[in-house]
């Protein structure tokens, strides 16, 4: 509490005068006291990947390296609904070819990002499978401290400021902290 009081005193020492207690009361909602400051601890991070993600910005890596003893779990999901639709319309062979190409892209992406994370000293686990991008991530997220989601996860974007509907839904509905990159 002393830090909080000294901060208010420094900020308003020439302005407040006898109104110090009112200012202290008003700003209490915006500043944490020393007792309220809690260092956030992360141990497990989930990072979902798909065909719409080509890389991860270095700033996210910098953020993740700020935490000690953190483990990053990369998950590449090929959308089984799309594979099923392709098989129904174009045949089994086309569906298998599509899935093979997407899984090859996924393996390459997992290798690239896991290498970049390991170069920064972060332990990484990788997983590749076919499933439902939004439902699977929402279910898996309960076992993690943080989920790092690309703005383009689950669908292409028109420009770099736009967020895909799948990423937006995940950020809104998950019960775990998220980072949108």
* Global pTM value: 0.72
pLDDT tens per residue, range 77-101: 988 888 889 889 999 999 899 999 9
Q: Report how far residue 71's alpha carbon sits from residue 44's, in angstroms, rounded to the nearest whole number.
A: 5
Positions in the chain short of pLDDT 70: 1-5, 7-21, 23-24, 27-40, 156-161
DSSP character at residue 158? S
Per-residue confidence (pLDDT) for residue 97, from 0 to 100? 93
Tell me what pLDDT residue 131 has: 86
Q: How far is it, in rounded angstroms, from Cα 63 to Cα 128? A: 24
Strand 71-79 and strand 124-131: the pairing is parallel
Helix/strand number for the chain, H first, E second: 7, 5
């Amino acid at each position: 509490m002393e830090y909080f009081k000294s901060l208010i005193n420094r900020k308003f020492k020439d302005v407040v005068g006898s109104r110090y207690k009112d200012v202290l009361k008003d700003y209490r909602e915006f500043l944490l006291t020393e007792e309220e400051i809690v260092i956030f601890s992360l141990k497990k991070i989930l990072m979902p990947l798909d065909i719409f993600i080509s890389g991860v910005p270095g700033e996210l890596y910098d953020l993740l390296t700020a935490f000690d003893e953190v483990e990053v779990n990369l998950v590449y999901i090929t959308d089984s609904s799309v594979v099923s639709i392709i098989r129904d319309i174009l045949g089994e062979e086309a569906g298998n070819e599509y899935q093979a190409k997407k899984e090859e892209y996924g393996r390459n992406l997992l290798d690239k990002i896991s290498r970049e994370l390991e170069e920064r000293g972060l332990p990484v686990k990788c997983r590749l499978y076919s499933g439902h991008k939004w439902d699977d991530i929402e279910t898996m997220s309960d076992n993690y401290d943080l989920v790092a989601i690309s703005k383009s996860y689950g669908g292409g974007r028109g420009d770099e400021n736009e967020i895909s509907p799948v990423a937006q839904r995940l950020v809104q509905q998950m019960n775990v902290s998220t980072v949108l990159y």
